[in-house]
Amino acid sequence: MKTTHVQVEGRVQGVCFRDYTQRQAHQLNLSGWVRNKRDGSVEAILSGDDTNVKAMLEWLKQGSPLSRVDNIHIHETTTEEEYTTFEVRY
């Protein structure tokens, strides 16, 4: 099990980025969460099989159809929290 913290910068708010991220995470059987940040970026925690996390990171580099990803920061992390689903946080 791998857990990764991601911050995506660019045109990622107001373009259904979180919804598309949640859909993709479900397809890849990942758990965790995604949320908008005040600075205009999107932040996510991805938890699951290493291969699926890598596939999700590749998807995030492209993003949703109307988004524009300028930069992505990826950090492996550890957490006490256990994730059973992938949710959009507000």
Active-site positions read 18, 36
User: Quick check: 63 and 10 in contact, CB under 8 A?
Assistant: yes
DSSP letter string, 35-72 = EE-TTS-EEEEEEE-HHHHHHHHHHHHH-STT-EEEEE
CA distance 68 to 90: 21
Q: Name residues whose C-beta falls within 8 Å of residue 73's C-beta, 6 or more positions apart in sequence.
A: 6, 7, 9
CA distance linking residue 63 with residue 22, whole number of Å: 11
CATH number at residue 14: 3.30.70.100
Per-residue pLDDT tens over the stretch 22-68: 999 999 999 999 999 999 999 999 999 999 999 999 999 999 999 99
69 pLDDT exceeds 90? Answer: yes
In the three-class reduction of DSSP (H, G, I as helix; E, B as strand; rest coil), residue 88 is classed as strand
Supply the range of the domain harboring residue 37.
2-88
Q: For residue 79, what pLDDT band results from cuts at 50, 70 and 90?
A: confident
Output the pTM of the full model: 0.94
Give the count of domains, the chain: 1
Distance CA 49, CA 17 (A): 22
